[in-house]
Amino acid sequence: MSSTSSHDISPLSTLRNFDAALDWTAMSKHLSWKPERRNPTTKTELELPFDLGDGAVSFAAGGALVQWRDGQWTRCINTKHRINDLQRDEEGRLLVACNGGRALRGHPDALTVVKVPFETVSAVAALEGTRWVCAGLEGEVLLLDGETVVAELNTGGAIHAVLPLNAREALLFGDGIHLLTQKGQLKQEVPDVWLQSAVHFKEAVLAFGGGVGLTGKPTYAFRQKKKWKVTQLADLDGEFLSVAVLGDAIYVPTGTGLFRLTETKPAQQVSDVPCTHVGIVGGKLIASGRGAAYVLKRRALIPL
């Protein structure tokens, strides 16, 4: 890939229907923020609870970025294409992974569309300065500096999550675990494992997924001092689309509820409310799923 193309978009303020599609050409470069109270439908998938640092709780909802603030829902951006990942860099720039061969990058009120040579951008991650990683569902990996491609690679298998290992390197999770080095090279760290989500925990990296080899059993991977330990989970089952750390505990959402793990205790069910995603917003754990979102209070999930 020799170049990228882009154009600017700004927030779409009014929430009329979370699931509505909006053509890119219909977007004005400058739209005022006019929030309209509107609850998500029971079919709306609220995913990726996210902290934009503006006092609101943000979510991906299909192709829209929506917010909950002071009892009111607002649609902020509608990309028309499904949002698969949300991240921020050290300067507060937002990185958004979308379907449709594109990612979004920039401050929330002035995002730039960066076109990529693959259909599904499954994950993004910020590195130091203006460097970032854009990964595709079929194993495609772009290392970029702003909108300039530094390296174009492929893991040869699916990628579901990208986690910065440090300021210059990133770990890629999916069909195996790969390390993207600061020189733009890929190194496979763990083969024959299927992982969906990852998070930093103290001095280690944790990842969760659907199995080792062909067993399909829930899997937990732990990296410390450049060494991986992969084990199968006896107490959890699910897709493990998301994982979050709050204090000394690890929280994993499943179809049967929210579970909590620590270094010394196995998985314990916190709530039987089904949820697919978790995130930390304003120092609080937020869980979400179809048509609903919750905040963790006193080890119970309370609707927003």
| Mean predicted confidence (pLDDT) in 10-36 | 33
pLDDT at 7: 34
The least confident of 125-129, 148-152, 238-242 is: 238-242
The tokens of 57 are what?
Answer: 């709780």
Is position 270 within any domain? no
Within-domain flag for 140: yes
Report the range of poorest mean pLDDT among 9-13, 69-73, 92-96: 9-13
Global pTM?
0.86
Count the domains in the chain: 1
Residue 235 in any domain: the answer is no
Q: Which tokens go with 16?
A: 């009329």
Which pLDDT score is estimated for 19? 37
Is residue 167 assigned to a domain? yes
- Percent of the chain with pLDDT strictly greater than 70: 85
Q: Report if residue 127 sits inside a domain.
A: yes
Overall size of the chain counted in residues: 304
Residue 157 inside a domain? The answer is yes
Instruction: Take residue 161 and report the two structure tokens written for it.
Output: 């999550």
Q: What is the CATH number of the domain that holds 189?
A: 2.130.10.10
**Average confidence (pLDDT) over 28-56:** 68
pLDDT of residue 181: 96
Which H or E run includes 235? none
112-146 pLDDT, tens digit each: 899 999 999 999 999 999 999 999 999 999 999 99
Residue 274 lies in a domain: no
Q: What single string gives the DSSP state of each residue in 44-106?
A: -B-EEEE--SSSSEEEEETTEEEEEETTEEEEEEE-SS-EEEEEE-TTS-EEEEETTTEEEEE
Q: Is residue 259 part of a domain?
A: no
Domain residue limits at 142: 8-194
